[in-house]
Amino acid sequence: MNRIEVEKKVLNENQVLAEQLRERYSRDGVFCVNLVSSPGSGKTLLLERTLEYMDPQARVAVLTGDLQTENDAKRLARFGFPVKQIITGGTCHLDAKMIGKHLEGWELGNLDLLVIENVGNLVCPSSYDLGEDAKVVLLSTTEGEDKPLKYPSMFFKSDLMLLTKIDLLPYLPFDADLARENARRVHPQIEIIDVSNITGQGIDRWMKWLQESQQRKRSASVLGISTGN
């Protein structure tokens, strides 16, 4: 078997497991978001702001992936919601098998929202379906306007782009309009919200997006329509 055949087999196996996860999420009424971005675009800080903003009774849980360290899970655990770290040990993405394994011990029926923070990588995570209802890509203002064109698969597959570190705009040679235009060239329907994890700008819109997306899934479910990838 050559490399491309093995690659295809791995992706096919992942797809089977991802569909099983998607069915579980639907059956248990969980909305699942897969957060993707370059390293350091602000995924963990966004999650801190998100959990801080949540009602303490909210039924939310987080799986956070990294090649090494438990740092992110430690940062996120202090908000009192269930959090687990997935250490990939060098692998450049999360896959559906890792998600299934780390969901063990959690009763999905007790959750409304599951957020997965993927490994910081704009390439490989785009190939691995985790059964999520939506992919959300973070692009930070410090990364340059051209990233959607250079990494098109990730932006094409994402439902929402969060343009993070928007507070740094005054100090950067960054054309936010051009960045948005580039994202829409790759994916005309992509939604875009400007966000600052430092000043809190846009966090309310992001929370609203999360709530409305969950609501949409619930309504679709009542009507027997499936959502997701």
Give the nearer residue to its own copies in terms of CB position, either 111 or 195. 195
Q: Residues interacting with its own copies, by CB under 8 A? A: 1-3, 6, 9-10, 38-40, 66-69, 71, 90, 92, 119-124, 140, 142-144, 146-147, 149-153, 165, 168, 171-173, 198
Do the Cβ atoms of 161 and 155 come closer than 8 Å?
Answer: yes
Smaller CB distance to its own copies: residue 72 or 159? 72
Q: Please report how close the Cβ of residue 204 comes to its own copies at its closest, in angstroms.
A: 22
Nearest CB to its own copies, comparing residues 59 and 75: 75
- Output DSSP code: residue 107: -
> Cβ 20 to its own copies, closest distance in Å?
20
The angle that helices 3-28 and 96-103 make with each other, rounded to 10 degrees, is: 40
Closest approach of Cβ 54 to its own copies, in Å? 23
Cα 49 to Cα 43: distance, rounded to the nearest angstrom = 10
Report in angstroms how near the CB of residue 222 gets to its own copies at its nearest.
39
Q: In what order do the strands lie in the sheet with 160-164?
A: 83-87, 60-66, 113-117, 31-37, 134-140, 160-164, 191-194
Q: Which amino acid is at 159?
A: D
Nearer to its own copies, 9 or 27 (CB): 9
User: Which of 145, 160, 171 has its CA nearest to residue 194?
Assistant: 160
Question: Closest approach of Cβ 164 to its own copies, in Å?
Answer: 10
Which CB, 111 or 119, lies closer to its own copies? 119
